[in-house]
Amino acid sequence: MPVCAICGTEADEDARFCSECGASFMADEELSTSEAMIQMAAEYEAAVRENPSDTSARYDLGLARMYERKWGKAAEQFQKVIEQEPEFADAHANLSVCLARLGQPERALEHIERAIELDAQKKRYRKIKRQLTGRTH
């Protein structure tokens, strides 16, 4: 059963995309060179350059960087979103995933805990926290 590399959600064998976060289950080499992803990232970068306070475009750029597995670049965007909108729970959760991938588990745990504080109903956040702490339940 495939597991999403972005959010950790388990998926059906025939799934092409994660039902929780929308990440593609394409092979790594396909994912990193996807023309559509490159184009999307370029569009989001242009939107952020044009309007640096556009948190929606910045958040989407962070997602595009996550899908490309450019964890540092994604983390930078999510951090900037949080600076502008400190209560944006999904930005905290995605920053947490990036930080974990970058080998910063303590900071990752801080951000996923903040996401849970902001939206305790999201199962995805608790799943990420379990993965960070090594718990299965």
In a domain, 10, yes or no: no
What value does the mean pLDDT take over residues 91-97?
96
Within a domain: 106: yes
Q: Write the Ramachandran bin of 103: left for phi over 0, alpha for psi from -120 to 50, otherwise beta.
A: left
Average pLDDT, the chain: 85
| Mean pLDDT confidence for 30-58 | 84
Give the largest CA-CA distance in the chain. Answer: 44
Q: 77 or 41, which is more confident?
A: 77
> Is 76 within a domain?
yes
What is the number of structural domains in the chain? Answer: 1
Say what the pTM is. Answer: 0.76
State how far Cα 75 lies from the chain centre.
8
Whether residue 87 is predicted with pLDDT greater than 90 in this model: the reply is yes
Q: Please tell me the distance from the alpha carbon of residue 118 to that of residue 123, in angstroms, as a whole number.
A: 13
Per-residue pLDDT band for 32 (boundaries 50, 70, 90) equals very low
* Residue numbers of the domain that contains 121: 35-133
